[in-house]
Amino acid sequence: MPNQVVYVKDKHTKLFIPGPTEVKKEIIEEMEEWMFGHRSEKMTELFTTMTEDTKKFLGTENDVIILSTSGTLFMESSIMNCVDDKVLCSTCGSFSQRQADIAERLGKNVDRLEYEWGKAVKPEDVREALEKKDYDAFTCVMNETSTGIRNPLEEIGEVMKDYPETLFIVDAISALGGDYIDIEGSNIDVIFTSVQKAFAMPPGLAVCVVNDKAYEREANSKSASWYAGFQRNIDYYNKKGQTHSTPAISLMLAYRKQMKRMLEEGHKVRDQRHKDMAEYTQKWAKKHFDMFPEKGYWSQTVSTIKNTQGLNINELRQEIDEKYGIQFSNGYGKQLKEKTFRIGHMGEHTVEDVKELTDAIEEVAGL
Ligand SMILES: Cc1ncc(COP(=O)(O)O)c(C=O)c1O
């Protein structure tokens, strides 16, 4: 058992970690409603509104599945549903490695296209690998949260166009909603996210966008997830406008309201706000430290900064939390824990908010 940490209710700590992110008070309050049945008309109205608004926000004609789960389930089910035999998994950090590990655990025949942590997946390498062997699917993370890399999905998608039998599966968990991607235009067959990241909602729901090709693949595949089966979820929605089992109704109330906010802001405007935050953070990092990931592939939602000043990141984090009620993240995993630190600038934050954090770091670290 880890040491118990004192939990103080109602203390608001502003989150600049790469998820969960800040949730607006009015969105939290939206969950305070009496329960209703998940087979009621009220539920149909709630679930169809959320689903159709999500399609509109993402600008996709593909099917949208919203499930009560964290995003990892879609990492698993996209493999179960779409891969009978061989899958090529690109790995460039912890989460893309998790995707390959999941595929292996499911007994699939996995080849890894491996990159050092901090490097991006290159389209020409993907082409070279796909030329050598036939794969049921290729997996790629859009935004590697452990290293702060944004992979060039749009260019990789151009490659995937030449291999139509290989489905393009994308983990966009720390990107979607804060970094615009043209799903159909990038030839993506399956793409998923968790709502506690750039959607700025409480954790507990995940979203998966599935095209007809992936839906058909599942119909003919030997294995498929029951709970996160594409067909079961999409068919149930099309027939009843509801979920196949009891969903997290309170979270869905929050989702409906937050998705309306996101629609109001607009995907492109939201994308620009995230670009602005990323540029501000990168400029600040270069002034005082250095960026960790490969140049040209810096994430729009999370900046991984090299600890060139040899600061004690844990002490710094603790002091900033106590003094200012603000949290940011240390580096990910054993390799990057003290060597880097991460600033999550996604969801509802603005440049002014990020400046509040960087000012606090400057003050406490005496930069
Ligand atoms: C890129 C990426 N993939 C997968 C996950 C796992 O998502 P979840 O915790 O919602 O299952 C995360 C979480 O940080 C992530 O950033």
Domain boundaries, the chain: 14-22+267-365, 25-264
pLDDT value for 9: 75
Kindly report the CATH class assigned to 14-22+267-365: alpha beta
Give the pLDDT confidence of 240-299 residue by residue, as tens digits.
Answer: 999 999 999 999 999 999 999 999 999 999 999 999 999 999 999 999 999 999 999 999
Residue 2 has pLDDT above 80, yes or no: no
CA distances from 243 to 67, 191, 199 (A): 8, 19, 21
pLDDT value for 5: 66
Spell out the alpha helix ranges (H) of the chain.
Answer: 25-29, 41-58, 72-82, 94-105, 123-132, 153-160, 212-219, 230-240, 249-265, 267-288, 313-324, 333-336, 351-365
Best of 101, 174, 193 for a ligand 1 pocket test (most atoms within 8 Å of beta carbon): 174
Distance 197 CA to ligand 1 centre (A): 9
> Residues lining ligand 1, CB < 6 A?
19, 70-72, 95, 141, 145, 171, 173-174, 194
Structural tokens at position 339 = 């060597």
Give the pLDDT confidence of 349-367 residue by residue, as tens digits.
Answer: 999 999 999 999 999 999 9
Give the pLDDT confidence of 195-224 residue by residue, as tens digits.
Answer: 999 999 999 999 999 999 999 999 999 989
Residue 8 has pLDDT above 80, yes or no: no
- CA dist 115 and 149 (Å) reads 11
pLDDT value for 225: 97
Question: Residue 32, SS3?
Answer: coil
Task: Count how many Cα atoms sit within 13 Å of the Cα of residue 228 in the half-sphere of its side chain.
Answer: 25
pLDDT value for 40: 98
**CATH of range 25-264; options 3.40.640.10, 3.10.150.10, 3.40.50.720, 3.40.50.2000:** 3.40.640.10
Give the pLDDT confidence of 14-70 residue by residue, as tens digits.
Answer: 999 999 999 999 999 999 999 999 999 999 999 999 999 999 999 999 999 999 999
Distance 72 CA to ligand 1 centre (A): 6
- Beta-carbon contacts of residue 335 (< 8 Å; ≥ 6 apart): 117
Residue 6 has pLDDT above 90, yes or no: no
Q: Which numbered atom of ligand 1 lies nearest the CA of 175? A: 1
pLDDT value for 259: 98
pLDDT value for 166: 98
pLDDT value for 335: 86
Q: Which numbered atom of ligand 1 lies nearest the CA of 172? A: 1
Residue percentage of the chain with pLDDT more than 70: 98
Q: What length is written for the chain?
A: 367
Give the pLDDT confidence of 84-127 residue by residue, as tens digits.
Answer: 999 999 999 999 999 999 999 999 999 999 999 999 999 999 99
DSSP string, 46-106: HHHHHHHHHHHHHT--SEEEEEES-THHHHHHHHHHH-SSEEEEEESSHHHHHHHHHHHHT
Give the pLDDT confidence of 118-170 residue by residue, as tens digits.
Answer: 999 999 999 999 999 999 999 999 999 999 999 999 999 999 999 999 999 99
Phi, psi values for residue 65, rounded to 5°? -110, 130
**Cβ(343)–Cβ(313) under 8 Å?**
no
- Beta-carbon contacts of residue 221 (< 8 Å; ≥ 6 apart): 80, 81, 82, 83, 84
pLDDT value for 58: 98
Terminal alpha carbon distance of the chain: 37
pLDDT value for 334: 86
Spell out a b/e string for 22-48, using b for 16 or more CB atoms within 10 Å of the CB, else e: bbbeebeebbeeeeeebeeeebeebbe
Q: What is the pTM of this model?
A: 0.97
